[in-house]
Chain A
Amino acid sequence: MAQTTAARFVGQRLPRKEDKRLLTGRGSYVADVSLPGMVELAFVRSQVARGKIRGIDIEAARAYPGVRAVLSAKDLDSLGAKCQILHGGMAPAPHVDLLARDNVRYVGEPIVMVIADSRYIAEDAAGLVFVDCTMEDPVITIDDARDGPPVHPDFPTNVADRNAPPENPALEAAFASAAHVVEATIRHQRQAHVPMETRGVVAARQGVDELLVHLACQSPHLSAHLLANTFNLPQANIRVIAKDVGGAFGLKVQPWREELCAVAAALLLNRPVKWIEDRMENLTSAGQAREQEIHCRLALDANARLLAADYDYACNIGAFPQGVDTNFLVEMFLPGPYHLPLYRCRNVNYYSNTVGQAAYRGPWAMESLARETMMELAARQIGITPEELRRRNLITAADQPFSMVTGAVIDRVTPRECFEAILEKVDMATFRVEQAEARKAGRYLGIGFSVYIEPTTMGFGVLSSEFAHIRVDPTGAIIANMGTHSQGHGTATTMAQVIADELGVEYDRVTVHEDDSSRGAFGAGAGGSRQAVAGGGAAIKASALLAAKIKTIAGHMLNANPEMISMQGGRITVEGEPEVSTTLERIAATAYADPDRLPPGMEPGLEAQYRFRSPMFVFSNAAHACICEVDGETGITRVLRWIAAEDCGVMINPSIVEGQIAGGVVQAIGGVLSEEISYDAMGNPTAVTFKDYVIPSAHDVPQIEYIHLVTPSTSDGGFKGVGEGGAIVGPPALVNAVADALAPFGGRCYDLPLTPSRLLAIIDGGEG
């Protein structure tokens, strides 16, 4: 059979199709959308974390010139909107109104919508609304939540979801007799997603019962689906458009209270309504993440082999979570790529009077942070190198497929190979000499490692499948409508690379549309590091169907066996008869405009579609190394080197793979060193601008060094996911590097972020 799918574009660092418009200021984001008659929305938000609303005075706001409407909870009742909490478990969840009705449960909770001719006027009038609200002692921290009064009055405690496996005598026995027992508590602060583009929506009622929604989201199709559920409207009536989106990281999986409020206002007012979240709103009322505490115990035998691990994990998920730092995946992957015979993980999610969580890139990242931090602590305690400890415990190719103690079966992963690759790149012997010399000069260098396995693709629930409709249009251009979506992922590029190879056409000829729920069909877009596998699989399968049709037509036109047809660079030839050829343009022209010349009975046109069933998990893996310097005078940490060796299978576009890793690593650096959403005791947020929410700048990030290992997956194309890895495996590499740097002081810091104050306390303490 003729070969049509030699990889010409897959694997190449092609410039992104999106970049020309994005880099020349021609992108189209929600804030760029303006519709005739459009009005703008500002929220009146709660200034107390916990209280009862006694009354709302909106008269002055309603009378303010330019105000179109002032709406509170009861005004939305006629819509019957249902907003669904996701707290990570199966337990019943409290009801959530779009606007607070009787109780307020966090500072920033929306209470009143003010809709006016401009955002300026809306904010003026919002300042005139008076909310009479009682003030009760709030539940802010995990400790508060354990013993405090329930955040949701209809629930007896603040436990949203709990998993408490029974006592395991074998595990306790292992700890009792182990040569080494290592214990620590790790606390991860709360973080914000901080997409460069905040949330935003322009919603307009059209016709009788149709909705047009421009939305900063992670999938137009999934958003339309969720809007249909929320407002009990037929999904066919809802069109969601998201041409360009500037980052999401899990925050924009589902339209949440504020976006839903804008849609509700558009339905009620019969006018297009725009809401663009400002940065202060983003930092104080958009979904947040992390805020976890995990107690860890490892038992190791005299040869430093793992015997047992025991974790107790708690997470503060806020008042109304829309997706959480998933505890079931934390639990499933905590054992990581190591031999571990005995294991237990208890976990609990607590409600609190804080902003609800939304899944943040690598929502289960605590599994890597806890395990990899403990591995290096164990090495220090036992007195062997972290390299040696990992070598004694890591699984190898010979162990695979490998059944984790949690039941997950992992295969085609290379944690040991990635780890050895970074060690070779680092040159440990040389580094240890440099480190010793530096310490003599009062400079504190440290190196840290981390190794992990990442479940990608997540082929369950709404992520179960992905869709591609691909056609050759009458001019010979290839147009794909896909359920993928880019908030910076470059899927219009990667999917075009896949399709171009499968169809044997030039990359420039392929255009991918993924911005409009009225095109194509359902697909869940970005989430769960799924798009290379799920989108790539759909693209390959649909392309194959389309290629088969092209070959059948070509065989018919050229009087050749379709199996002997070869497609390359848009030219269609017969194997062994180079003088006989046609072009895709001619076949397209025939298929659409001269269908009588098609094989008898063939459907005219040139198009195919395929819905790809995503695998449940496709495992990718990586090992990272970080070298940092902690300034002994100031406690400030500088990241000097970062080396990432990853295996994400066949890379569609290595530049995009590296971009994904880099983005995650930057978020890791911010998360470990400086970013922190914090509240005072009364639940007032204390990081409300970028002055206080400290994200890394370009100066704070080194040139990341990449090593690519390629072990193809068994899924079509051999792809694996890579979207979240840097944010998962990155943090422990840096935490471990700081611990190594501070080794001379004998202290350790597992309370994130590792601020200068915290590190200097260790340095000063160690000096004393």
Chain B
Amino acid sequence: MKPAPFDYVRAESIPHALEALAGAGADADGDASILAGGQTLMPLLALRMATPSVIIDINRIEALAGVSRVAGHNGSGATRIGATTRQNHVLANELVKAHVPALAKATAFVGHHQTRNRGTLGGSVSLGEPAAEYPAIALTLDAVIEAHSSEGIRRIDALDFYLGAYSTALLPDELVVAVEYPDWPADSVTIVHEVTRRAGDFALVGLICQLAIAEGKVSRAAIGWFGMGATPMRSLAAEKALKGVSLGDIDPRAVAELAISETEPLEDKHATAHYRRSVGTKLFTRLLSAAVAERQKP
């Protein structure tokens, strides 16, 4: 369990990292891996499941860390989080709590306190682990992933980012620099929950639901899942079905069943596909009922 040989570049700036990425791409056998928090990459290296020719360490690039407010689409705001922002910083950040509560809630489920000290938001988003929280949050909240390369800057909608199991739209010479989460109305309903066998494990079933409410009706809905397919999943039909419905008319069981029908859970060592569907349906039904009831309280 020792890594295969690799070259190591400590990137001092974003252009330096991009130059190293471009350089690796120019080499016929070139194959670069970005080292951020290392919580996934280091075990993969040790297992020789990843054997990059060069590792580009972006931990020293100060411009990549931090949380800020920026302008978003349609005149609303957005919260921009630098790629190397540590997960524990995301968890504690007041801007995240105020503007992206789903992300704050999800972060409490990410790994363990100790791993969150190293693990980064950008690392998790760009890896695309289908059972992890961050890719699903990005997908569900219509986040924009900002990728830089020596060719320029691409802003990729999360909806277009996750292509398959651990496969993303990121090109080999691109570096995720930040992720932007567009604002939702401040009084939106936010549900984030996951089922694990042990605290800190990958989710057997993970659920995200956010509802904007206007005049007692659902004005916008977003429903996403993790651990429920080869990629993070989105239940667009269920979202559409919820839109415009009065809170009192929501049938949580029907919504949950529709939403689940849009997932494609796999069977693995930890749970059957049937299990994931069954638990996901019950979980969503219960949490949606409770959230709607809470909102309807006088």
Contacts and interface: CB of A to CB of B under 8 A. Distances in A.
B119 to A, nearest CB: 15
Contacts of A757: 271-272, 274-275
Interface string A610-651: 000000000000000000000001111000000000000000
B48 A123 contact: yes
A37 to B, nearest CB: 20
Interface stretch (A232-240, A393-401, A692-700, A738-746): A692-700
A118 B1 CA distance: 12
Interface residues of B, number: 28
Question: Which range contains the number of A residues in contact with the other chain?
Answer: 20 to 34
B291 to A, nearest CB: 16
A691 B115 CA distance: 14
Nearest to A42: B2
B48 A120 contact: no
A674 B1 CA distance: 25
Interface string A664-706: 0000000000101010000000110101101011011000000
Contacts of B272: 757
A445 B90 CA distance: 37
A694 B197 contact: yes
B3 to A, nearest CB: 7
B4 A636 contact: no
Interface stretch (B12-20, B223-231, B279-287): B279-287
A191 to B, nearest CB: 14
Interface in B269-298: 269-272, 274-275, 278-279, 282-283, 286
B245 interface: no
B39 to A, nearest CB: 12
A280 interface: yes
B2 A120 contact: yes
Nearest to B267: A757
Contacts of B271: 755-757
Contacts of B201: 694
Contacts of B198: 674, 694, 696-697, 699-700
A757 B266 CA distance: 13
Contacts of A634: 195, 204-205, 279, 283
Contacts of B48: 123, 127
B248 interface: no
A575 interface: no
Nearest to B269: A692
Interface string B187-224: 00000000101111110110000000000000000000
Nearest to A631: B195
A119 B1 CA distance: 9
A511 B68 CA distance: 62
Interface in A274-288: 278-281
B98 interface: no
B47 interface: yes
Nearest to B198: A697
B199 A633 contact: no
Contacts of A761: 274-275
B5 interface: yes
5 contacts: A124-B4, A124-B5, A689-B43, A755-B271, A757-B275
Interface of A: 118-120, 123-124, 127, 278-281, 633-636, 674, 676, 678, 686-687, 689, 691-692, 694, 696-697, 699-700, 755-757, 760-761, 764
Given A123-B48, A699-B198, 4 more contacts: A120-B5, A636-B195, A756-B204, A757-B272
The 7 A-B pairs with the shortest beta carbon distances in the complex, nearest first, are A278-B1, A757-B275, A120-B2, A757-B272, A633-B282, A697-B198, A699-B199
